[in-house]
A and B are shown apart, each in its own frame.
Chain A
């Protein structure tokens, strides 16, 4: 699990769903949750929350400013790569802390990912979980 600290900026409610905009350091994040400020009291602007996502949901791109629908992007340096037959584990040092990504070893080779390389780690909006 990746866990980073964030602060809620806004909560946009429609029915049972809330689109939550957060800030982790200077990075803007967006998540969609099946909760509202009525069901979860922490869904309020300025509340600090933990943002949680799994390693295998972290997508890696070589590009720095890619135009892509993914809302959650972290720019950083690869500080560790471990590769096994099928899967590889990367640790990316970002401004909000280290983020771990598990992707296929094929992908690591195709993108020529190496220690020290700058990459963008991205997570889809519906993969971020929140916790108090």
Chain B
């Protein structure tokens, strides 16, 4: 289990902000930090990694203190067992895929594990290639494998997939879930993508202005009113057309486009680009098998 208690005064573009969070993460969970830019998500990552010191705080990872400002304990970054994946791949361009992984492993260590990782994230055919000959999705697979070579206790993913298109993102989500389960990792993800959050996370922590405003099961945190309708989809409004007393609202859900009819008065509160929940009773939709 990971226990985190952090306080830090931060200067941001919109003035000072007090980061003040307390949370626990169970071993083996995949937890997502969610919130607007500037809410403090990446700052929490930097503090967990030891790259930034809080004014006050404690970080306890599986009963070991990584940080305790009162007792002046502060384990240096290289001794904290953390794997990092960012949106930028940060691979060494002069090294092949395999060399990048071996370099991260360090000298005189067992490269059997590197071979295992290469298998799991399907890098076998690419292992002797240099990063600049790889696609974005392939580079991110290398970055994921590299984050794991040191067998981290925590895998931290800072919007790792936001630069990738939908298909590739979908595949990488599968790879991440696979390594997360296979190595029984404790994983913390920063994501803005609602479908990604619901698909991947066991637990969601929503931050605003440095404070936790909501936490719990992702579907509960993201569903603002508990409607009994079992047919609930999260999407974004693409278009709205007024006709008679109704609006025909076009909503993007994942990569599918659907249309929903809503009362005209209600639709006045909606705008193109709004994030919405589409709810219906499970009795209404019909289901077809695709041949």
Contacts and interface: CB of A to CB of B under 8 A. Distances in A.
A129 B226 contact: no
Interface residues on chain B, size class: 10 to 19
Given A40-B226, A131-B227, A87 B281 contact: no
B266 interface: yes
Contact of B246 (A35, A52, A102): A102
A99 to B, nearest CB: 12
Contact of A1 (B230, B244, B245, B263): B263
Interface string A20-39: 00000000000011110000
Given A56-B261, A102-B263, A129-B281, A35 B245 contact: no
Interface SS of chain B = loop
A130 interface: yes
A88 to B, nearest CB: 7
B227 A34 contact: no
A33 B227 CA distance: 10
Nearest to A126: B283
B266 A1 contact: yes
B272 interface: no
Interface stretch (A67-75, A78-86, A112-120): A78-86
Given A82-B245, A89-B245, A42 B283 contact: no
Given A126-B283, A127-B281, A129-B279, A40 B244 contact: no
Contacts of A86: 244
Contact of B229 (A88, A129, A132): A129
B134 to A, nearest CB: 45
B227 A52 contact: yes
B14 interface: no
B282 interface: yes
A49 B150 CA distance: 52
Nearest to A104: B244
B225 interface: yes
Interface string B257-274: 000010100100000000
B226 A34 contact: no
Given A42-B226, A126-B281, A100 B263 contact: yes
A132 B245 CA distance: 28
A130 B227 contact: yes
Q: Could you say which of A42, A84, A87, A129 has the most chain B C-beta atoms within 10 Å of its C-beta?
A: A129
A34 B266 contact: no
B94 interface: no
Interface in A1-49: 1, 32-35, 40, 42
Given A1-B266, A84-B245, A131 B226 contact: yes
A123 to B, nearest CB: 12
A130 B245 contact: no
11 contacts: A1-B263, A33-B228, A34-B228, A40-B228, A52-B227, A87-B246, A102-B246, A102-B263, A129-B229, A129-B279, A131-B226
Given A34-B230, A132-B225, 10 more contacts: A32-B283, A33-B228, A33-B281, A55-B245, A56-B261, A82-B245, A86-B244, A87-B245, A102-B263, A127-B283
Give the top 9 A-B pairs by smallest Cβ distance, nearest first.
A84-B244, A87-B244, A89-B245, A126-B283, A130-B228, A33-B228, A131-B227, A34-B230, A132-B226
Interface of B: 225-230, 244-246, 261, 263, 266, 279, 281-284
Interface of A: 1, 32-35, 40, 42, 52, 54-56, 82, 84-89, 100, 102, 126-127, 129-132
